[in-house]
Amino acid sequence: MPELPEVEIVKQSLDQKIQQKKIKKVIIKNRNLRFKIPLKFEEFLENKIIKKVSRFSKYLILNFLDGSFCLIHLGMSGTIHLIKKNNLNKFTNTSFYNSPNLPKKHNHVEIQFKDLKIIYNDPRRFGFFKFINNKEDLLNRFNHLGPEPFFKTFNLKYLSSYFLNKKKDIKSFLIDQKFVSGIGNIYASEILFLSKISPTKQAMKLSKKDCKKIILFSKSVLNKAIKKGGSSIRDFKDTAGKTGNFQKEFKVYQRENLNCLRNKCIGKIRKIFISNRSTFFCNTCQK
């Protein structure tokens, strides 16, 4: 599933290519995504001019010149492919998930511009599109989500008060979007390793020092992943032919039974399941 860094890469690709462009035509081939696409969705989008493409958490946002928005969530398997007219570029995927080229099946939404088009592909159909009339409605749509790790509100005061008397493990909190937006399963394991905190540790037992480490490494891990182009579990390339290679930086994720990479640590990387998600950690240096 695309996490914050991967969605940020898609956002950057789209913003560079479709900013200030007018939508000429919208074709819906399958309305049955996570939420059914309404019948008048095409009318809402056609002739809109894209002011910019932005992102919040794992959501892409098409910002239109008239003050309305289109929210896009990639779900578990969604990818956006960019097709230029008269261009035989073999890489069409704006992200690093699934096929680098446009697949023949599961192309559900097509948004056409004068000289290019973007196509939404989603085999599992857990993603969705939603038209939003104004900024107030957009902000209300995110009311249930916690701050991103990059926000000033993701601070020691916030963590300390949120964790008060909470017996749930810290790994479950890091992948809980109500607590913090954008951190997913891969990055939660990496953040906790760098923080030297066991994923099973109860949130209420975290010290102020622990919380400071979580804040610090949440920002640094995600920033590094964005700079590295995200984590491509498979070696695929985006529209520019670049690879997402943060997976080469993994300290614990998918390193089960291998030696800990921390200097002078004699531990082994173990895999357990927390909240039905695979969790990787060092059995020695993470306390």
What's the pLDDT at 248? Answer: 73
* 149: annotated active-site residue: no
Catalytic residue (choose from 11, 58, 117, 171): 58
* Radius of gyration of the chain from its Cα atoms, rounded to whole angstroms: 20
Residue 236 has pLDDT above 50, yes or no: no
pLDDT digits (tens, 9 = 90+) for 145-179: 999 999 999 999 999 999 999 999 999 999 999 99
| The two three-digit tokens of residue 16, written as one number | 């560079």
The C-alpha angle with vertex 200 and arms to 195 and 204, in degrees rounded to 5, equals: 80
Domain boundary assignment for the chain: 4-141, 156-282
| Run of H or E residues at 9 | helix 4-18
Q: What is the topology classification, in CATH, of domain 156-282?
A: Helicase, Ruva Protein; domain 3 (1.10.8)
* 3: annotated active-site residue: yes
pLDDT digits (tens, 9 = 90+) for 7-48: 998 999 899 999 999 999 999 999 999 999 999 999 999 999
Q: How does residue 233 score in pLDDT terms, banded at 50, 70 and 90?
A: very low
Cα torsion angle, 103, 12, 114, 111, sign: positive
Residue 126 has pLDDT above 70, yes or no: yes
Q: How does residue 136 score in pLDDT terms, banded at 50, 70 and 90?
A: very high
Residue 4 has pLDDT above 60, yes or no: yes
Catalytic residue (choose from 2, 5, 149, 199): 2
pLDDT digits (tens, 9 = 90+) for 186-212: 999 999 999 999 999 999 999 999 999
Rounded Cα distance, 260 and 266, in Å: 7
More confident residue, 249 or 220: 220
Alpha carbon distances (Å) from 47 to 110, 191, 219, 249: 14, 43, 38, 43
Catalytic residue (choose from 21, 251, 262, 277): 277
Three-state DSSP state, 115: coil
Residue identified by tokens 């049955």 is 32
Q: What is the CATH number of domain 4-141?
A: 3.20.190.10
